[in-house]
Structure 1
Amino acid sequence: MPRGRPRSFDVDAAVERAMDVFWSRGYHATALPDLLRATRLSRGSLYAAFGDKHSLFLRALDRYIADALARMDVEFDPRNDPVEGLQAYLVGYVERTSGSNGRRGCLLVATAMELAGGDADVGRRVAGFFKAMEAKVTDALSRAKAAGRLADGVEPATAARVLVCFVEGLRVVGKTAPARTTSQAAVDALIGRFVR
């Protein structure tokens, strides 16, 4: 029989609120009082539910990654035209990297820069996300190739690697809040080299 009182808070909501804090401040600049305020938990409840700051951060990062992969599953739905899926994927990045959306940046990119080289748990998650994204883009490009929609000489896996690097670069440049038209022009120039 479980001991103690049952949790009287929404764990998913607490993870999402913690994710927002980490996203805004970064891992190292986020202090326990920041997390307690955001999650509206006592120190004891936070530690009982999540263990420690690092464990809560990993849960928040997992949530961010799951949301991003779910979004890509919709964009790259194999029942839809693969070129339209690629365009939806890239338009999503244009939206997320322009103006005030862009200034917020990307939790994953910020985490990769801050922690991935020195934190094995984070490094595995970041690498796994990029690998999964690259696989989804490769699949869409392979379907486009099978449909005769890829430009001559474009190899799906190589083009996917380029596109992943490109969109993550957009996330970094997005911190300067470029105009939507600037990001869209870059997307149009690149995708025009890959698809017909």
Structure 2
Amino acid sequence: MAQYTSLPSPRGRPRSFDIDAAIKRAMDVFWSSGYHGTSLPDLLEATRLSRGSLYAAFGDKHGLFLRALDRYIEDALARLDAELDSSRSALAGLRACLAGYVDRTSGVNGKRGCLVVATTMELSAQDSEVNYRIAKFFRTFEARLTAALTRAQETGELAEGVEPASAARLLVCLVEGLRVVGKTSPARATTQAMVETLLDRLTG
């Protein structure tokens, strides 16, 4: 549901705008240009806010970036939950998850890359607030894959000797690595074959 905020206008009347829409527009700019490559004028143009409104709502550029990063992570985890839906078999969920990453690392989507990966490389080492969010995202991602792989193990879908937590860590490294390699526009068939090979090893 959209959230709205009211700020005083120069004449004292409340001015309302859609905070969710502003965050989404800012997220798209940061995603395309990176944190340092995005200027305040870029954000003002994208969000359609005045400088005063932007600062009143988000504090500053960094505050807006954190909100945008949170939004990106929320979207990524919601998509993951949909793909790993417990109403389907664990293996089907894992296949859906990996198929989604193949799509997101192919063609135009692949060239755009991943905001989490780009932010990790650009800011995580020197920005504790960003690093906290990125680390938490990877822990959550790994935990949800571990749960799915444990279900697969319980139903006999996992190959003998495969340990769910270790396999989950491997999958996180694979898919995030695919987001990096996707920037170089590899052939979709190559990425698909890589994913299928790993799945074959995990499921026997």
TM-score (norm 2): 0.93
CA distance in 1, matches of 2:23, 2:7: 23
**Quick check: 1:15 aligned with 2:15?**
no
1:167 aligns with 2:175: yes
Runs of 4+ deviating beyond 6 Å: none
Q: Aligned with 1:8: secondary structure?
A: strand
**C-alpha spacing 1:155/1:8, structure 2 compared with 1 (3 Å):** same
Q: Which residue of 2 aligns with 1:154?
A: 162
1:132 Cα shift? 0.3
Aligned length: 195
Q: Return the alpha-carbon distance in structure 2 between the equivalents of residues 25 and 187 of structure 1.
A: 29
Q: How far apart are 1:52 and its partner, in Å?
A: 0.3
1:1-196 map, 5 Å: 4=8, 5-196=13-204
Structure 1 residues 18 and 3: alpha-carbon distance in aligned structure 2, compared to 1, 3 A threshold: closer
Following TM superposition, by how much is the alpha carbon of 1:6 offset from its aligned partner in structure 2, in angstroms? 3.8
Change in CA separation of 1:87 and 1:3 when aligned onto 2, cut-off 3 Å: closer
Q: Which has the higher strand share?
A: 2
| Alignment deviations for residues 58-79 of structure 1 (CA, whole Å, 9 cap, x no partner) | 0000000000000011111112
Deviation at 1:3, TM superposition (A): 7.9
Is this contact kept in 1: 2:7–2:16, CA < 8 A?
Answer: no
CA deviations 1:21-57 (Å, max 9, x no partner) are: 0000000111100000100111011111111000000
Gap regions ≥5 residues in structure 1? none
CA RMSD of aligned residues (A): 1.2
Residue 3 of structure 2 corresponds to none
Structure 2 unaligned blocks of 5 or more: 1-5
Residues 44 and 187 of structure 1, relative CA distance in 2, 3 Å threshold: same
Which one has more relative contact order, counting CA pairs under 8 Å at least 6 apart? Answer: 1
> What secondary structure sits across from 1:9 in the alignment?
strand
Percent identity of paired positions between Structure 1 and Structure 2: 67
Give me the TM-score of the superposition, normalised by structure 1. 0.97
Is residue 105–residue 179 contact of structure 2 (8 Å, CA) maintained in 1? yes
Instruction: Give the 3 Å change call, closer, same or farther, for CA 136–56 of structure 1 in structure 2.
Output: same
Structure 1: how far apart are the matches of 2:59 and 2:80? 31
Return the alpha-carbon distance in structure 1 between the equivalents of residues 15 and 110 of structure 2. Answer: 36
Hey, what's the Cα distance between the residues in 1 that align with 2:174 and 2:147? 17
| 71-80 vs 154-163, greater mean Cα deviation | 71-80
